[in-house]
Amino acid sequence: MTGKKTKISCQNCGQTNYYPENPGSKAVVCGHCHHPLPRPGEVIEINQVQAANLINKSSLPVLVDFYSNSCGPCMIMAPVVERLAQRRAGELMVVKVDVDRNPELAAQMGITSVPTLVVLHKNVERGRISGAISEMDLALWVARIA
């Protein structure tokens, strides 16, 4: 084990933690609330309470993918967003919100179409885009604003 750690924010409380590079079979939990942490680079689905915690408390920028399972462009963007999350692990939290299951959150965020990607940091929106875009364009957009 090299001791290298990657920054990750807890989806339960928003606290930023350091995830060990190779935790083995050990469960990695938040140092604040003891909730299990996702692996760095993993895209996690969140609800309204978790979204508020991440958006308000995470020291990392948060990319929120608002999507619907009945949306073709959303399904096209899903693997693109997953690859971006893996490449930017430790620099950016990537989460997804199903607008059909979380209509209040979608309305609160002003989401009128899907897919919509929103980058937020410390409760400030840094940018948003709607519709399917290329992997290169997404990477450049996120690099510019996150």
Q: Where are the domains of the chain?
A: 41-145
Pairing relationship of beta strands 16-20 and 5-9 according to DSSP bridges? antiparallel
- The predicted pLDDT at position 115 comes to 98
CA distance 84 to 131: 16
Question: Of 90, 99, 4, 74, whose CA–CA distance to 42 is shortest?
Answer: 90
- The predicted pLDDT at position 2 comes to 54
Average pLDDT of the segment spanning 30-45: 96
The residues carrying an active-site annotation are 71, 74
- The predicted pLDDT at position 111 comes to 98
Tokens of 43: 């895209």
Report domain 41-145's class.
Answer: alpha beta
- What are the residues facing 130 on neighbouring strands? 116
- The predicted pLDDT at position 40 comes to 94
Pairing relationship of beta strands 44-45 and 62-67 according to DSSP bridges? unpaired
Name the phi and psi angles at 130, rounded to 5.
Answer: -125, 145
pTM: 0.94
The alpha-helical segments, DSSP class H, found in 9-112 are: 48-57, 72-87, 103-108
Neighbours of 69 (CB within 10 A): 11
